[in-house]
Amino acid sequence: MHGDITSSAADAIVNAANPSLLHGGGVAGAIVRKGGKIIQQESSAWVRKHGPAGPGHPAMTGAGDLPARVIIHAVGPVWGEGNEDLKLQTAIMASLETAESHSLTSIALPAISTGIFRFPKARAARIILGAIETFVSGHPNSSLHDIRIVIIDQPTLDVFLDAFKQRWPEGPETT
């Protein structure tokens, strides 16, 4: 969906984070600017306690002044660092599993790694949609029943909509 993830009223929003959870720019910077310094404070405390976050090891903090209940800080790959596809898939799956493990019912994800981490958008869209499909099919009784990809800019949204239409030409299955 087209929108600002910081305005999403989902139980959880996913932050496209770096391993040290220093939220300076991109989605992370916007989240702290709108949600308050408490998000950075909780993130720094999380790193002190658990060490750096990683693709398979997301952090979770409160959401400060944002309408979401929590933030899941997912570390996606930087394009060119190696094994990027698997790292992106792992970051998405780990975010969804973290939300489910806390019995959350809704989650909003950005186009992780497609901004300052330079992951090719069309490739990322296919991987992110595939990871969501894998999660949903592997967790038929999941508490998560509302999984949204929220994208602020129209060009990236168009890429994701194209990937969605290629994957599901007749639209999503509904139950």
How far, in Å, CA of 5 to CA of 28, rounded? 10
CA distances from 138 to 28, 64, 93, 142, 161 (A): 29, 32, 11, 9, 23
Of the chain, the end-to-end C-alpha distance in Å amounts to 20
How far, in Å, CA of 48 to CA of 30, rounded? 23
Domain ranges of the chain: 5-167
Share of the chain above pLDDT 70, in %: 97
Instruction: Give the pLDDT confidence score for residue 26 in this predicted structure.
Output: 85
Please report, for the chain, how many H helices and E strands are present, in that order. Answer: 5, 5
DSSP 5: G
pLDDT band at 172 (very low <50, low <70, confident <90, very high): low
For residue 36, give both structure tokens: 């308050």
Give the model confidence (pLDDT) of 136-162 as tens digits: 999 999 999 999 999 999 999 999 999
Q: Above 90 in pLDDT, residue 168?
A: no
Instruction: Give the pLDDT confidence score for residue 25 in this predicted structure.
Output: 85
Residue 118, number of CB atoms within 10 A of its CB: 13
Instruction: Give the pLDDT confidence score for residue 143 in this predicted structure.
Output: 96
Considering the segment(s) 5-167 as one domain, its CATH architecture is 3-Layer(aba) Sandwich (3.40)
pLDDT band at 175 (very low <50, low <70, confident <90, very high): very low
Q: What is the mean pLDDT of residues 32-57?
A: 97
Per the prediction, the chain carries an average pLDDT of: 95
Angle CA(90)–CA(91)–CA(96) in degrees, nearest 5?
Answer: 95
